Amino acid sequence: MVKICCIGAGYVGGPTMAVIALKCPEIEVAVVDISVPRINAWNSDQLPIYEPGLDDVVKQCRGKNLFFSTDVEKHVMEADIVFVSVNTPTKTQGLGAGKAADLTYWESAARMIADVSKSDKIVVEKSTVPVKTAEAIEKILTHNSKGINFQILSNPEFLAEGTAIQDLFNPDRVLIGGRETPEGTKAIQALRDVYAHWVPVDRIICSNLWSAELSKLAANAFLAQRISSVNAISALCEATGADVTEVSHAVGKDTRIGPKFLNASVGFGGSCFQKDILNLVYICECNGLTEVSNYWKQVIKINDYQKSRFVNRVVSSMFNTVSGKKIAILGFAFKKDTGDTRETPAIDVCKGLLGDKARLSIYDPQVNEDQIQRDLSMKKFDWDHPLHLQPMSPTSVKQVSVVWDAYEATKDAHGICILTEWDEFRSLDYQRIYDNMRKPAFVFDGRNIVDGEKLRQIGFIVYAIGKPLDSWLKDMPAVV
Ligand code: NAI
């Protein structure tokens, strides 16, 4: 029986391995982590991450050929294939701080693999890593190998949170990079055989190691760039009276461009886009490609601009101050159908409003108070470390309350900011909400999900990203 072990039971390791276990009943899959609470949660009815369809998959195979464990060394030792899906945060100190990837967790995983291995292994990079990481890992492994043969493969993950199970069942492509040697080719073939259980072979792409590593960074940079492009256009729409939804519809009809990822919003978030672009920027700089690095940096700058101009819009429309005013925040996760708040635009928007002394009442169907308080108190990039290594019990932000209901959040509020596109926010009883708010009552739709006309008829003053401005907003010019 082939044995697989995955180091890192996070958003990638957990769902990916659960699907491999489901699709390959004759393979034994162990997912290991140094975080005891995380592994306990994977072994309970309350999985540590919210992902539609995940519960079902885990229930079907857990205890049969899918195991979650903290006994990292035992499972690594027994495995034929070891996936590494640990955190790869942005460095906060030293060379490349603020841009380069911190490979501390990766390196310690690699050293541990070398230490405990007694048989040949294929080591698979699942984490997103800078180009040429495999080379460094290969060196660590071979210098400590005691005669054992390690083959390194790069198999970056392209799943999107919120649709992870669907993406894993039916991926656009699976990418496997390896050494162009007979042993490398054999290792690629072995991993290909795993995916071929359910992925059509023409969607399994094989390449050299560096191409695979760079393709993942490039894919995320392209995706983020589309969002920043449409967001840049949204600012121009507001200035001119064009409607960004109409513009992106017309643009997306061009088959060379396509309709996906063209929604204007308050900005992109998630653990990957910013981190991976910063990584790309750093690699370009290291290679003397200043113009190229500046080009990609701009994608992040537009994202930051989009968040700050949203805050400016809120403050300027409410008579240039939100001091002491209650603002309801609907949605805190970085997108719908996930509880993940890493790099969510809600953090910067909330911090911006708190900077102007607003009182915030936050509701998100999947994010709890502890997480929100941590996010609003944590320093940049501190979030991307194993849970037990993150700063403990930061002091909570006093002007923030977290509630479990949109009606509670909006009661007596002066304004509402919609920051995540949860479906339930489309169908709230906005008349009831309006009746319970202070007047004038404002809605700032950061995701363009509500029917602005309906809300205006109720009496709201409505701002929606990239849409023609209400006369109220025109009369209260913002610095945007
Ligand atoms: P995560 O933070 O959810 O999971 C990483 C896990 O690794 C944590 O549970 C941590 O405790 C564990 N860990 C760290 N060092 C360890 C060690 N030495 N031994 C055992 N366990 C260890 O991170 P996530 O989101 O799963 O991301 C992992 C990698 O996958 C990152 O490089 C990320 O860029 C990449 N990725 C993430 C995607 C996403 O949507 N979240 C999509 C595609 C790639």
The string of pLDDT tens digits covering residues 305-323 is 999 999 999 999 999 999 9
| pLDDT digits 0-9 by tens, 177-222 | 999 999 999 999 999 999 999 999 999 999 999 999 999 999 999 9
C-alpha torsion angle, residues 224, 348, 131, 88 (rounded to 10): -130
- pLDDT value for 334: 97
Backbone angles phi, psi at 450, to 5 degrees: -100, 160
Are the C-beta atoms of residues 375 and 348 closer than 8 Å to each other? no
pLDDT band at 91 (very low <50, low <70, confident <90, very high): confident
Q: In the chain, what percentage of residues exceed pLDDT 90?
A: 85
Q: How far is the CA of 13 from the centre of ligand 1 (A)?
A: 7
- pLDDT value for 145: 77
DSSP-H helix ranges across 117-208: 133-143, 164-169, 182-195
- pLDDT value for 391: 67
- pLDDT value for 395: 66
Sequence ranges of the binding site for NAD(+): 8-13, 33, 38, 86-90, 127-128, 161, 272-275, 342
The C-alpha atoms of residue 5 and residue 148 are separated, in whole angstroms, by 18
Residue 394 scores a pLDDT above 70: no
Mean pLDDT of 103-113: 92
Mean pLDDT of 280-308: 97
Mean pLDDT of 331-358: 97
Average pLDDT, the chain: 94
Are the C-beta atoms of residues 252 and 232 closer than 8 Å to each other? no
The C-alpha atoms of residue 331 and residue 422 are separated, in whole angstroms, by 7
- pLDDT value for 393: 53
* CA dihedral (85, 86, 92, 97) positive or negative: negative
Q: Structure tokens of 33? A: 């982590």
Q: Which of 357, 335, 359, 358 is nearest to 346 (CA)?
A: 335
Tell me the HSE value of 73 on the side-chain side, using a 13 A CA sphere: 7
Burial (Cβ within 10 Å: 0-12, 13-18, ≥19) of residue 297: middle
pLDDT band at 457 (very low <50, low <70, confident <90, very high): very high
C-alpha torsion angle, residues 239, 242, 244, 246 (rounded to 10): 180
- pLDDT value for 386: 80
Active site residue: 5, 61, 237, 272, which one?
Answer: 272
Q: Which amino acid is at 163?
A: T
The C-alpha atoms of residue 175 and residue 168 are separated, in whole angstroms, by 13
The C-alpha atoms of residue 229 and residue 244 are separated, in whole angstroms, by 11
Burial (Cβ within 10 Å: 0-12, 13-18, ≥19) of residue 353: buried
Mean pLDDT of 448-462: 97
Indicate the pTM of the whole model.
0.94
The C-alpha atoms of residue 256 and residue 274 are separated, in whole angstroms, by 26
- pLDDT value for 256: 97
Q: Which of 454, 457, 453, 479 is nearest to 468 (CA)?
A: 453
Q: In the chain, what percentage of residues exceed pLDDT 70?
A: 99
272 among known catalytic residues:
yes
Residue 421 scores a pLDDT above 60: yes
Atom of ligand 1 nearest to the CA of 275: 34
Give the binding-site residues of ligand 1, using a 6 Å CB cut-off.
7-13, 33-35, 38, 72, 85-88, 105, 108-109, 127-128, 157, 159, 161, 271-272, 386
Least confident segment among 108-117, 131-140, 164-173: 131-140
By most ligand atoms within 8 Å of CB, the mutation choice from 168, 271, 389 for ligand 1 is 271
Mean pLDDT of 28-54: 97
